[in-house]
């Protein structure tokens, strides 16, 4: 015969299941992005070409969900010889502008670019991943970019991956259970109580 304690636990569990809000998919739209590179001396002079077609949309539902790695832009140099000023690192920056989910939000990813020597000269772009972009009330979208290494002259592709780090929690009061859900929970509780009473009489 089920105890009152077990009935209470079952009732609480049923109410929690009935009122728990299901995970909602969020549609993200990257409307534009812009890349700022060191495009003049001193330092390694870089060229950049966007590869991702805008707007770029994707859907993420649960924290930890990610997009497939996507080609973001190509970066490289026409310089054929390594100069001393090329060894000094310079900033590289990507600004992301999202129009969805509303309200629109934006954020930056910053890295370093330059040249080095390891048996032969090479150019590089290095990022300090991952980057966090806040959206909505509590949402956090992570952005990870791949490092790039290329010959002098040469180029490489920077790839991007977007990960839902924290789902957004809309503002306002907690959702009220639908009447149908509450009716289902109530029927279950009444049934459990009647069953327990019958067993007691026997």
pLDDT in tens, 103-119: 999 999 999 999 999 99
pLDDT in tens, 15-34: 444 444 456 899 999 999 99
Could you tell me which residues come within 8 angstroms of residue 114 by beta carbon, excluding any fewer than 6 positions away? 43, 44, 86, 87, 88, 89, 90, 123, 124
Angle between helices 179-201 and 4-19 (to 10 degrees): 170
Of 114, 118, 122, 39, which is closest to residue 81 (Cα–Cα)?
A: 122
In this prediction the pTM is: 0.75
Q: Give the model's pLDDT for residue 196.
A: 53
Question: Integer distance in angstroms from the first to the last C-alpha of the chain?
Answer: 11
φ and ψ at residue 158, rounded to 5 degrees: -100, 125
The answer, yes or no, to whether residue 136 has pLDDT greater than 90, is yes
Domain ranges of the chain: 30-166
The answer, yes or no, to whether residue 165 has pLDDT greater than 50, is yes
φ and ψ at residue 92, rounded to 5 degrees: -130, 140
């Amino acid at each position: 015969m089920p105890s009152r304690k077990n009935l209470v636990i079952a009732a609480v569990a049923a109410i929690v299941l009935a009122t728990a809000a299901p995970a909602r998919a969020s549609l993200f739209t990257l409307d534009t992005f812009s890349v700022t590179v060191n495009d003049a001396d001193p330092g390694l002079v870089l060229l950049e070409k966007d590869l991702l077609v805008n707007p770029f949309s994707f859907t993420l539902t649960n924290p930890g969900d990610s997009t497939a790695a996507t080609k973001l832009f190509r970066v490289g140099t026409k310089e054929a010889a390594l100069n001393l000023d090329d060894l000094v690192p310079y900033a590289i920056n990507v600004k992301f502008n999202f129009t969805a989910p509303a309200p629109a939000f934006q954020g930056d990813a910053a890295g370093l670019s330059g040249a080095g020597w390891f048996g032969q000269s090479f150019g590089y772009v290095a990022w300090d991943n991952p980057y966090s972009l806040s959206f909505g009330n509590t949402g956090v979208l992570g952005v990870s970019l791949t490092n790039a290494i290329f010959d002098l002259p040469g180029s490489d592709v920077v790839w991007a991956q977007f990960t839902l780090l924290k789902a957004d929690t809309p503002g306002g009061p907690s959702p009220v259970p639908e009447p149908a859900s509450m009716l289902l929970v109530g029927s279950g509780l009444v049934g459990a109580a009647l069953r327990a009473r019958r067993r007691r009489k026997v």
